[in-house]
């Protein structure tokens, strides 16, 4: 079994591409697809065991991968990380700013520490990674950056800290695309909708009950999968997107395009998921469902 990408097998040959949060979920899937397309994938995260496991999977599948542990919220740590990766592997051609995290809570119950933790993970850390990759490699050599955000265009009730951070990252994407274009650097974003990845198993049981109902608010009638996010990321990193910069692609089954209270959805079921990732780990929450 191997990754079934729609891109040509040498699309990222001889390229070094960093994937933050590469130890699980969307980051793991994207790392596998990039490696299957010839990239040397540089996995970054805080959990060494997870990174080692993904690296081993990629190598077993015939790909190239290295890893480095780093807290992307630590400015000095990020500077040293990028410098070390360049020293070991050469210039960085791509960056996938995927690392992040949040917890469900109404705004009134979020402490400052909780707010800061989510904003630092989902906005500040991505900025630091992008800035250092640009300053240390891409300004001279060009490259492509893809930031992972979220569907927050109608607000993000229940996760306001994450919504604010993701909105900031969309604006950062637009600004960086404009400021860094002279160097041949493209900056884009992908906004996943509700994706049935293993990360959904980390939420509290009460919130899991809500997650089970989400497909009822998706016009395509289902949740997405990791491979459908990775496909958009890899396209934006590829040469085929060489004149695309400053944009955000929503991969959400049109869930962000309407209001079910005004226009109730008809029952879906005709949309089929893209079966790309041969090592997909589906959330236990959704096992047994189509």
Structure tokens given for 160 = 């306001």
- What pLDDT does residue 206 have? 84
DSSP letter for each residue of the chain: -----SS-TTTTTT-EEEEETTTSHHHHHHHHHHHHTT-EEEEEES-HHHHHHHHHHHHHTT-EEEEEE--TT-HHHHHHHHHHHHHHH----EEEE-------B-GGG--HHHHHHHHIIIIIHHHHHHHHHIIIIIHHH-EEEEEE----BTB-TTBHHHHHHHHHHHHHHHHHHHHHGGGTEEEEEEEE-SB-BGGGGGS-HHHHHHHTTGGGG-TTSS-B-HHHHHHHHHHHHSGGGTT--S-EEEESTTGGG--TTTSPPPP----------TT--B-GGGTT--
Structural domain contains residue 265: no
Tokens 């109608």, located at residue: 154
Backbone angles phi, psi at 224, to 5 degrees: -85, 175
Domains of the chain: total: 1
- What pLDDT does residue 12 have? 98
Structural domain contains residue 39: yes
Nearest 5°: CA angle at 166, between 279 and 25? 10
Rounded (10°) angle between helices 48-60 and 25-36: 30
Size of the chain in residues: 290
Tokens 């040397």, located at residue: 40
Structural domain contains residue 261: no
- Of 256-260, 265-269, 272-276, the one with minimum mean pLDDT is 265-269
Structural domain contains residue 132: yes
CA distance 55 to 146: 21
**Residue 226 belongs to what domain range?**
16-254
Closest-CA residue to 102 (of 115, 87, 88): 115
Single pTM value for the model: 0.95
Structural domain contains residue 83: yes
- Asked if pLDDT for residue 215 goes beyond 70, the answer is yes
Structural domain contains residue 175: yes
Rg (CA), the chain: 18
Tokens 């400052």, located at residue: 112
Is-contact 232 251, C-beta < 8 A? yes
Query: What would the mean pLDDT of 182-190 be, rounded to a whole number?
Result: 98
- What pLDDT does residue 290 have? 59
Is-contact 55 23, C-beta < 8 A? no
- What pLDDT does residue 39 have? 98
Structural domain contains residue 214: yes
Closest-CA residue to 271 (of 228, 230, 234): 228
CATH number, residue 216: 3.40.50.720
List pLDDT tens digits, range 23-75: 999 999 999 999 999 999 999 999 999 999 999 999 999 999 999 999 999 99
């Amino acid at each position: 079994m191997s990754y079934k990408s729609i891109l040509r097998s040498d699309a990222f040959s001889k390229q070094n591409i960093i994937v933050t949060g590469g130890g699980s979920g969307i980051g793991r899937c994207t790392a596998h697809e990039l490696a299957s397309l010839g990239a040397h994938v540089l996995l970054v995260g805080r959990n060494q065991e997870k990174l080692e496991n993904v690296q081993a999977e990629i190598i077993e599948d015939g790909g190239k991968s290295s890893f480095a542990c780093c807290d992307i919220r630590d400015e000095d740590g990020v500077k040293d990380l990028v410098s070390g990766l360049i020293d070991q592997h050469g210039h960085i051609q791509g960056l996938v700013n995927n690392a992040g995290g949040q917890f469900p809570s109404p705004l009134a119950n979020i402490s400052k520490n909780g707010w800061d933790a989510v904003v630092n993970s989902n906005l500040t850390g991505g900025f630091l990674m992008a800035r250092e990759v640009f300053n240390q490699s891409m300004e001279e050599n060009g490259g492509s950056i893809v930031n992972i955000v979220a569907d927050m265009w109608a607000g993000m009730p229940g996760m306001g800290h994450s919504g604010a951070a993701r909105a900031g990252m969309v604006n950062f994407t637009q600004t960086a695309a404009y400021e860094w274009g002279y160097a041949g650097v493209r900056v884009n974003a992908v906004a996943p909708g509700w994706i049935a990845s293993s990360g959904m198993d980390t939420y509290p049981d009460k919130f899991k009950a809500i997650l089970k109902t989400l497909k009822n608010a998706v016009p395509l009638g289902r949740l997405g999968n990791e491979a459908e996010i990775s496909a958009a990321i890899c396209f934006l990193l590829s040469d085929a997107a060489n004149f695309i910069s400053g944009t955000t692609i929503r991969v959400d089954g049109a869930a962000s395009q309407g209001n079910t209270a005004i226009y109730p959805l008809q029952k879906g079921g005709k949309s089929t998921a893209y079966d790309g990732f041969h090592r997909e780990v589906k959330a236990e929450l959704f096992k047994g469902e189509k």
